[in-house]
Amino acid sequence: MLPIKTPSNRFFQLSTFGLLILSMQLFAAGLPGMPNYYPDQFDYVGHVQRLDLANRQIVIDDLLVNVPEDTPIYSQQSQTELLSQLYPGIRVGFSASYNSRGTLFMKAAWIIPRTLRVPGKSDEEER
């Protein structure tokens, strides 16, 4: 016996197809010309001003950020960079969160070219 096509069955098929197309577009999203492990946006974007490797702190556009030991740092060439690879003037995008005491902690950072326009909070946009 052939399956009966009902309006609700057709709606389900179209909805499933639509969700499949949308999910393919989301997985393909990212920054143009960047590796697929780069997100399409960052919590913050800025330039490193100062590094304190001993205390694992970094200042990015006047924002003091603590960097836990296990924080991943990404570059276009590698997914396993070290904090020591960063230097004053380098541009980074990063995700971060505040703890209950109001201290900002970096979750992950990506080295990004100066010429690449990326969405994220930045003092640079206000200048």
pLDDT of residue 104: 97
pLDDT of residue 26: 38
Angle at 86 between CA 84 and CA 92, to 5 degrees: 145
With respect to residue 62, please indicate whether it lies within any of the assigned structural domains: yes
CB atoms near residue 92 (< 10 Å)? 23
pLDDT of residue 46: 94
Nearest alpha carbon to residue 64 among 81, 82, 52: 52
**Domain membership of residue 110 as a residue range:** 44-120
With respect to residue 115, please indicate whether it lies within any of the assigned structural domains: yes
pLDDT of residue 32: 73
With respect to residue 2, please indicate whether it lies within any of the assigned structural domains: no
What pTM does this model have? 0.69
- Return per-residue pLDDT of the chain as tens, 127 residues: 555 555 555 554 544 444 444 333 334 456 677 889 999 889 999 999 999 999 999 999 999 999 999 999 999 999 988 899 999 999 999 999 999 999 999 999 999 987 777 766 554 543 4
With respect to residue 79, please indicate whether it lies within any of the assigned structural domains: yes
pLDDT of residue 28: 42
With respect to residue 24, please indicate whether it lies within any of the assigned structural domains: no
pLDDT of residue 34: 86
pLDDT of residue 40: 86
CATH of the domain at 107: 2.40.50.320
Two tokens at 111?
């080295």
With respect to residue 80, please indicate whether it lies within any of the assigned structural domains: yes
pLDDT of residue 2: 58
Query: 119 to each of 20, 40, 51, 54, 83, how far by Cα in Å?
Result: 26, 8, 24, 31, 23
pLDDT of residue 6: 54
Non-local (6+) Cβ contacts of 115 within 8 A are none
With respect to residue 10, please indicate whether it lies within any of the assigned structural domains: no
If one counts the domains in the chain, the total is 1
